[in-house]
Amino acid sequence: KHLSIALIPGDGIGPEVVAEGVKILRTIEELDPELSFSFTEFPWGCEYYLKQGKMMDADGIDQLQNFDAIYLGAVGYPGVPDHISLRDLLIKIRRSFDQYVNLRPVSLLDPSFTPLKDKSDKDIDMLVIRENSEGEYAGAGEWLYKGRPEEVVLQTGIFSRKGTERIIRYAYEEAHRSNRTLTSISKGNALNYSMVFWDEVFEEVGKEYPDVETYSYLVDAASLYFVSDPERFEVVVTSNLFGDIVTDIGAGITGGLGLAAGANINPEMKYPSMFEPVHGSAPDIAGKGLANPIAAIWSVSQMMDFFGEEKWGKAVLDTIKGLTVEKENLTPDLGGKATTNEIGDRISEKLQKL
């Protein structure tokens, strides 16, 4: 099998962590005669913007269209407003390629990484499935009477039946396939249109999956449970905004942004899917070899899973887990002294010894 991969290293620590992810992909390619990858790098990002006046080429989406996958580091840097860097590249790609599923594992690699007392990797092991194409982030709204006393601002959430059903069905499928419980996070008591609709769809679609055990929590209560008893959650499905927020709580209870991975999926494979760490460009540590590449490498594991190479997805994740038991194998964000490059090398070496 061959996969063509578009690389968008981006800004700050983006290129540093992407280099380590590519190292792991090359290792897999070497070890598996059935698999090969080709890489095409795109120089898009904030530096590009400062020189060219745009985050990506005007026909950038066309250029990416025929790749199997996109592997992205991070975009955003001081000097370029964040709404430009995010909207004109990242969000544009997610939207154009209908990557409506955002998969974010919230899974504890090592008990020492969580600030929660008495929680082990058995307690914190969930997959958050976030709606990634509409909802609260649809971008709809209006700014009326700007600057006047009667000024009113509307930010409209858009929840289509198609959009809501497909994400909820994806989550049921995942829970069914993996024999796990499914929890919906919403807010029907206060958001009297959108979230009442969400809850109804969750129940309706559930009728097709009588074997899946379901729970439904309000987002405020769920946020508390994430830190008080995370063992309640296995597969979680939620809206764009709530998913954004609860997965940062998820990062907080599992060791921080250096470990949080994400995949933006178009399940039908009509368009390329995009794999990226959740973190940003971290200008405060960029260029010093301090960045933790594990989030980016975990995204490589997600990429392997998505393309049906679960054997490699699991091998990469197991290797990461095996590595982090020793402090000398940690970057400074986790209290160690290892560099970005060293972590990549060690994971690559361990994979070769499997």
Choose the stretch contacting ligand NAI; rule: CB under 6 A; options: 173-181, 212-220, 230-238, 280-288: 280-288
| The one among 188, 258, 313, 344 contacting ligand NAI by CB under 6 A | 258
- Residue 30 in 3-state DSSP? helix
Q: Per rule CB under 5 A, is residue 234 in the interface with Mg ion?
A: no
Site for ligand NAI contains 282 (CB under 6 A): yes
The phi and psi torsions of 324 (rounded to 5 degrees) equal: -80, 0
Residues whose CB is less than 8 angstroms from the CB of residue 22 and which lie 6 or more positions away in sequence, other chains included = 7, 39, 71
Site for ligand NAI contains 295 (CB under 6 A): yes
Question: Which DSSP string do the residues of 34-76 spell out, in sequence order?
Answer: T-EEEEEE---SHHHHHHHSSSS-TTHHHHHTT-SEEEEEE--
d(CA 223, CA 183): 13
Strands laid side by side in the 235-238 sheet = 36-41, 2-10, 69-74, 273-277, 261-265, 101-107, 125-131, 235-238, 182-186, 214-218
Choose among Mg ion, ligand NAI, none what residue 344 binds, the Cβ cut-off being 5 to 8 Å by kind.
none
CB of 244 to Mg ion, least distance (A): 5
99 touches ligand NAI (CB under 6 A): no
Measured CA to CA, the distance from residue 130 to residue 213 in angstroms comes to: 19
Instruction: State yes or no: residue 236 binds ligand NAI (CB under 6 A).
Output: no
- 274 - beta bridge partners? 70, 264
d(CA 295, CA 25): 14
**Chosen from Mg ion, ligand NAI, none, partner binding at 333 (C-beta under 5 to 8 Å by type):** ligand NAI
Is there binding between residue 291 and ligand NAI (CB under 6 A)? yes
- 263 belongs to the binding site for ligand NAI (CB under 6 A): no
Q: Kindly tell me which of 25 and 195 has the beta carbon lying closer to ligand NAI.
A: 25
Helix axes 340-353, 294-306, angle to 10 degrees: 40
Whole-number Cα distances in Å, 293 to 235, 244, 260, 344, 350:
25, 21, 10, 7, 15
Residue span binding ligand NAI (CB under 6 A) among the ranges 97-105, 204-212, 234-242, 291-299: 291-299
Q: At closest approach, how far in Å is the CB of 76 from Mg ion? A: 12
| Binding region for ligand NAI (CB under 6 A) out of 145-153, 199-207, 211-219, 278-286 | 278-286
Q: Least distance to Mg ion from the beta carbon of 354, Å? A: 33
Distances (CA, A) of 240 to 129, 164, 253, 281: 9, 11, 20, 22
Considering only 166, 279, 346, 350, the residue that binds ligand NAI (CB under 6 A) is 279
Name the binder of 129 from ligand NAI, Mg ion, none, CB < 5-8 A by kind.
none
Within 66-85, the residues that bind ligand NAI by CB under 6 A are: 74-77, 82, 85
Locus of tokens 């407003």: 81
Residue 244 contact, options Mg ion, ligand NAI, none, Cβ 5-8 Å cut-off depending on partner type: Mg ion
Which of Mg ion, ligand NAI, none has residue 188 at its interface (CB below 5 to 8 Å by kind)?
Answer: none
- Interface residue with Mg ion, options 174, 234, 244, 276 (CB under 5 A): 244
Q: How many CB atoms lie within 10 A of CB 38?
A: 12
Q: Quick one: 75 or 168, whose CB is closer to ligand NAI?
A: 75
Q: Of the two residues 309 and 333, which places its CB atom closer to ligand NAI in the complex? A: 333
Kindly state the smallest distance separating residue 201's Cβ from ligand NAI, in Å: 28
> Is 254 in contact with 262 (CB distance < 8 Å)?
no
Q: Does residue 86 bind ligand NAI (CB under 6 A)?
A: yes
Residues of this chain that interact with ligand NAI (CB under 6 A) are 13, 17, 74-77, 82, 85-86, 90, 257-258, 276, 279-285, 291-292, 295, 333
